[in-house]
Amino acid sequence: MIEIERKIIIDDCLWCREAALIKVSGGKKALTHDYSEPTDDYMVRSSFLLNGKPIVQGEYPECPTCCALLARGYGIEKTDCEELKAVRDIINSDYTDFRTAMQNIEPILDLLDNGYYVIADAQLYPTDGSGHFFMNVPDEMTDTDAACSDYYNSEFLTITQGFPAYIYPTQSNSALDIERAACYLESIDKDNAPRAVAYYDYGFICALLDGHHKAYAAAKKGCTLSALVIIP
């Protein structure tokens, strides 16, 4: 069961259009993180799982301004997730309003563990945070600058805390259909563009649950990707 607790005031949140706090009860716990104990070199291994299969893998340091290692998992298209399939056709239509959008993705929200989450209508950049096309990430563990909880700017002596900004793919490259992605080119930069769905993983990185073709179109057009972001 999904309950909307309250709308969140976002006056000081430049990356977000609207947001709400929700409570998940009776969640299926099919979309979860599995963390290891810290290793001898103070790294924590993480697997972001859907139906028991890793869709993003990582190794995170204790240092908040150090980059982490990330890698794609088995491919979200191989998880056989009926809830994702149920949502896909609904959210591929034009966006109308925030409350309707949250209702449309409720089958995905039911996959979460019990607890509180923020749902945000956010603008994501279709890169990995290092200026590379988001689908070009290697399949092996690779240093990812955006996967740190805080960014330290040594020139200005300032620290920026992580927020949903960049995209990490959960889909295999072979599943990307260029012709299908081209269908979104005309509408992807509009306010009523169909939304992607992402999960805020860590630092500045979001795991893209649905919308890889939309993200490709946004990258092709040079615009941000409008996405409903689940923030634990």
pLDDT digits (tens, 9 = 90+) for 23-34: 999 999 999 999
Residue 147 has what pLDDT? 92
Distance CA 67, CA 85 (A): 33
Stated as kind and residue range, the H or E segment containing 107 is helix 106-109
Stated as kind and residue range, the H or E segment containing 90 is helix 82-91
Residue ranges covered by each domain of the chain: 2-231
Distance CA 30, CA 100 (A): 23
Residue 138 has what pLDDT? 87
Phi and psi dihedrals of 190, rounded to 5? Answer: -90, 155
Task: Give 133-177 pLDDT, tens digit per residue.
Answer: 999 998 899 999 999 999 888 888 888 899 999 999 999 999 999
Residue 156 has what pLDDT? 80
